[in-house]
Amino acid sequence: MTWGIPDSYGGMTTALLQRSRAFARLAGSPVDVLTFDARPDYEDVRARLRERGELAEGVRLLNLYDWLREHRLPGGSLRLDRDVFTPLAEERRASRDASRSRFRDASPSAALLNQRYAADGTVLQVDHYRADGTLLLSDRRDARDRGRLGGRSIVLCDERGVPVRSWARIHHLYRAWLDALTAKQPSFVIVDSKTSANFMLDYRRRHVVTAHVVHNSHLARHDEPLGDVRESRRAVFERLDAFDIVALLSERQRRDVIALRGDHPGLSVIANPRAAVRPGANRRGSDGIVLASLTARKRVEHAIGVAARSGVGLDVFGDGDRADAVRAAVPAHAAHRIRLHGHRPDAREHLPRASFLLQTGSSEGFPLVLAEAMAAGTIPIAYDVPYGPADLIDNGRNGLLVPSGDTDALAAAVTRLATLPPGRLARMRRAARRTAHAYSERAVVEAWATAFQQALERRARVRAGQASPRSIAIALATRRARVSSAFASVIARACSLRWL
């Protein structure tokens, strides 16, 4: 589960798609990737992902609004005495259609949305339509006082555009969709995004095991491991027990979370799986590579400055809100050596050609690109930040760690690597590849299988309550038979679980 699939997505989306493919291929179990955003061009998104190999056989991408256009949502009630229903007039559907500028092109799918705005541009209402033009759903965000944000009213319509169900909170619609998808069958929901995690805090069903993957640092200040939690993480970290499993990406982060919030029986360390990468053979001399979003947190300007000073080449792959600042950071005398490629779906295929990878972020969760670089024998040079780099890099053996933000130390590390004897460099590359083996798809799927089994066993103990020891033993044995930790394929064959 994630909020949406951006056109230029980063590590979190890459990781969830990689994990989904691994579950489908190695466990033989179909995977549904769920999204909740209202972009109208998901058919185009699916086509692009299939073309890149990101949606493999057995992996489906389901969007809430797309699904509602094709399926009825069972149950529920219609409360038009409480929930305001004022659909936008048909003649206004062509007016100020924001979807035409928000997405890649003005495709016909843009007609699936119509929006009403406040004077300052705030969206006050979104009406969703089916392909035949009938009203699907009307979502008002100014239900209390028209023209001013406040109060929510969501009204779902049938194939004729007639209201059939309504909600006063959008989260209730999301949960109703999950109920329809799981259909009271044993299901696992893995929540990848912060946004989705917030509305899943109150989703508890006997047939659903919920897991939340914390993809990044939870800290408000990266230099205070026991300090405040980020505001965007606060609600979830105050209620970690709302999830059966909380998957952190490094042991160091798990220890800090326990120190801050106490232990949680479902607190697990499960890394993201890396893609299979072949070791590099024809590297570009001492050139380096950066794969990162061009945002303030990633500090790509540090990498560019170091490459310019050190006289090495650097290929930078990524896009973001600091793209202009990153371009401006390339000095004229180094423009021929420092190449900015923007967002490229094939960026990871360039890892084996580079001698080293630079990672300069101020915080990380589990830097998947580090593991992928190491699998290619590309030496990582990284800032020592929470969390991730220190969990993979044994300084001087399989990569190099330098103090966070110290560009002089970073430049010295680049120079050191460029001057290492060939034999020593080859040993470092072999050590890096050995480290990356622990993050293979097979190892990560096995870790998830174990976490799922343990979650079911914990639930069995809770449900057994005050039952006799024999009853508890039978309940646990039954769940072990249904879910084996040996490998996730046993899960799929034994109980045909649906992965979400």
- Beta carbons within 10 angstroms of residue 231's beta carbon: 8
Q: What is the pLDDT of residue 335?
A: 95
pLDDT score of 11? 82
Residue 172 pLDDT class (50, 70, 90 cuts): very high
What integer pLDDT is reported at residue 390 of this predicted model? 85
The CA distances from residue 398 to 357, 394, 480, in Å, are: 12, 6, 39
pLDDT at residue 145, rounded to an integer: 94
Q: Report the amino acid identity of residue 445.
A: V
Domain 288-437 annotated CATH 3.40.50.300: no
Cis before 174? omega within 30:
no
pTM score, two decimals? 0.80
Q: Which long-range contacts (CB under 8 A, 24 or more apart) does 41-46 make?
A: 41/103, 41/104, 41/105, 41/107, 41/109, 41/110, 42/66, 42/109, 43/109, 44/104, 44/107, 44/109, 45/5
CA 262 distance to own-chain centroid: 25
Question: Are 475 and 463 spatial neighbours (Cβ–Cβ below 8 Å)?
Answer: yes
pLDDT tens digits for range 253-287: 899 899 888 888 999 999 898 877 777 667 777 89
- pLDDT tens profile 190-220: 999 999 999 999 999 999 999 999 988 888 7
DSSP 8-state symbol, 123: E
Q: 173: closest CA among 122, 212, 138?
A: 138
What does the alpha-carbon distance between residue 294 and residue 330 come to, in Å, rounded to a whole number? 14
Question: Tens digit of pLDDT for each residue in 57-68?
Answer: 999 999 999 999
**Residue 413: is its pLDDT beyond 80?**
yes
Closest C-alpha to 499, from 38, 5, 16:
16
Phi/psi at 148 (5° precision):
-135, 130
Pick the more confident residue, 311 or 101. Answer: 311
Taking residues 341-360, what's their average pLDDT? 93
pLDDT at position 223:
65
Q: Which residue has the higher pLDDT, 450 or 494?
A: 450
Instruction: Report residue 17 as tokens.
Output: 């798609």
Tell me if 169 sits within 8 A of 155, measured CB to CB.
Answer: no
CATH class assigned to 1-73+174-273+440-472+480-500: alpha beta
Average pLDDT over every residue of 247-256: 90
Give Cβ neighbours of residue 461 (< 8 Å, ≥ 6 apart).
Answer: 472, 475, 476
Rounded to 10 degrees, the C-alpha dihedral 416/419/420/422 comes to 150
Cα gap 41→166, rounded to integer Å? 25
Distance CA 395, CA 416 (A): 13
Reduce the DSSP state of residue 296 to 3 states and report it. helix
Asked which of 249-253, 297-301, 366-370 is least confident by mean pLDDT, the reply is: 366-370
Q: What is the mean pLDDT of residues 51-80?
A: 94
For residue 332, pLDDT over 50 is answered with yes
Question: In the predicted model, is pLDDT for residue 77 greater than 90?
Answer: yes
Is residue 165 a contact partner of residue 78, using CB atoms and an 8 Å limit? yes
Q: Which two tokens stand for residue 178?
A: 């999950």
Domain 1-73+174-273+440-472+480-500 and domain 288-437 have a common topology: yes
pLDDT value, residue 308: 96
| pLDDT value at residue 143 | 95
Is 211:451 a contact under the CB 8 Å cutoff? yes
Question: Which of the four pLDDT bands, split at 50, 70 and 90, describes residue 189?
Answer: very high
pLDDT at 483 over 70: no
Asked if 201 and 178 count as a contact pair (C-beta separation under 8 A), the reply is no
Place 449 in a pLDDT band, splitting at 50, 70 and 90.
very high
Listed by start position, the domains of the chain span 1-73+174-273+440-472+480-500, 90-167, 288-437
* pLDDT for the residue numbered 10: 79
What does the pLDDT look like over 132-163, one tens digit per residue? 999 999 999 999 999 999 999 999 999 999 99
Q: How does residue 247 score in pLDDT terms, banded at 50, 70 and 90?
A: very high
Average of per-residue pLDDT values in the chain: 87
Q: What are the φ and ψ backbone dihedral angles of 137, each rounded to 5 degrees? A: -155, 140
